[in-house]
């Protein structure tokens, strides 16, 4: 299976997939050369996702996980239409979980600028419960802070506190962490919001949806085998290896580099 993200944030999703489906093989592609996706126009992110999807399909994966909220917002429908393999995104599981979790029907979202502008969360949540009040907040500073050498420094807490202020004022009882980077500093979010606010992140729900898709399409591997996993990046392999282990919570021995030209050629 192929899993991709703009950087290493999607490794939080891959971790759950590895735990849930230890018998499956995975290849993870981080598009570090074009990180971050969040400030980019949706059309540009959509093109990046289409290139990566085509590349992974050409390399024989049987299912693709768009483990990036921005890429899912920008291009999930197009990927599902264009590719022959199933494509699972991270947003729908989060929307379902948030609607099921909220008690006062006031839900907040913290995500990248592109994810907020795409409006996919709002549509999904209101399709599930038209009475929910939804409060999205773009958080452009968070991804660079979380990918820094010290994600738990004071600046990260101050940034989260600033972005959370309007959500606390709105009285939300549920907040979607709408970027795969955010769970790495989840304790900061929980400290800022307090125990009265529930945080929703999709890794477990996404892994469950992937497993169900494999079973439904009868394309699972035999559960008696041990699966493998490998890593690709369009950026610096050493930097990926160093930072990736922090997100994956497992050792990363080798990282292969893929050129942007190879991605573009796959989509041509």
Per-residue pLDDT reduced to its tens digit, 25-37: 999 999 999 988 9
68 is a catalytic site residue: yes
Catalytic residue among 132, 145, 179, 263: 179
Alpha-carbon distances of 117 from 57, 137, 238, 241, 253, rounded to whole Å: 28, 10, 33, 32, 37
Per-residue pLDDT reduced to its tens digit, 124-172: 999 999 999 999 999 999 998 998 889 999 999 999 999 999 999 999 9
Backbone angles phi, psi at 201, to 5 degrees: -140, 145
17 is a catalytic site residue: no
Residue 202 has pLDDT above 80, yes or no: no
Q: What is the DSSP string of 33-53?
A: GG---TTS-HHHHHHHHHHHH
Catalytic residue among 68, 74, 146, 177: 68
Average pLDDT over residues 255-264: 98
């Amino acid at each position: 299976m192929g899993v991709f993200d703009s950087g290493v944030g999607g490794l939080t999703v891959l971790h759950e997939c590895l735990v849930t489906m230890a018998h499956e093989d995975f290849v993870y592609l981080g598009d570090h050369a074009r990180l971050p996706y969040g400030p980019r126009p949706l059309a540009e992110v959509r093109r990046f996702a289409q290139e990566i999807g085509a590349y992974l399909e050409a390399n024989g994966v049987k299912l693709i996980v768009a483990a990036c909220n921005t890429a899912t917002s920008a291009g999930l429908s197009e990927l599902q239409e264009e590719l022959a393999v199933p494509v699972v995104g991270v947003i729908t599981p989060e929307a379902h979980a948030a609607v099921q979790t909220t008690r006062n029907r006031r839900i907040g979202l913290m995500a990248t600028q592109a994810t907020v502008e795409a409006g996919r969360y709002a549509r999904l949540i209101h399709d599930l419960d038209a009475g929910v009040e939804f409060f999205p907040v773009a958080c452009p500073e968070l991804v660079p802070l979380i990918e820094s050498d010290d994600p738990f420094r004071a600046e990260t807490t101050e940034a989260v506190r600033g972005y959370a202020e309007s959500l606390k004022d709105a009285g939300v009882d549920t907040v979607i962490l709408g970027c795969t980077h955010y769970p790495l500093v989840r304790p900061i979010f929980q400290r800022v919001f307090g125990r009265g606010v529930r945080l929703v992140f999709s890794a477990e729900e996404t892994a469950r949806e992937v497993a169900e898709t494999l079973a439904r399409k009868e394309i699972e591997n035999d559960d008696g085998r041990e699966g493998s996993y490998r890593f690709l990046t369009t950026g610096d392999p050493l930097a990926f290896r160093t930072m990736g282990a922090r997100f994956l919570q497992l050792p990363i021995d080798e990282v292969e580099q893929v050129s942007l030209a190879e991605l573009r050629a796959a989509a041509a």
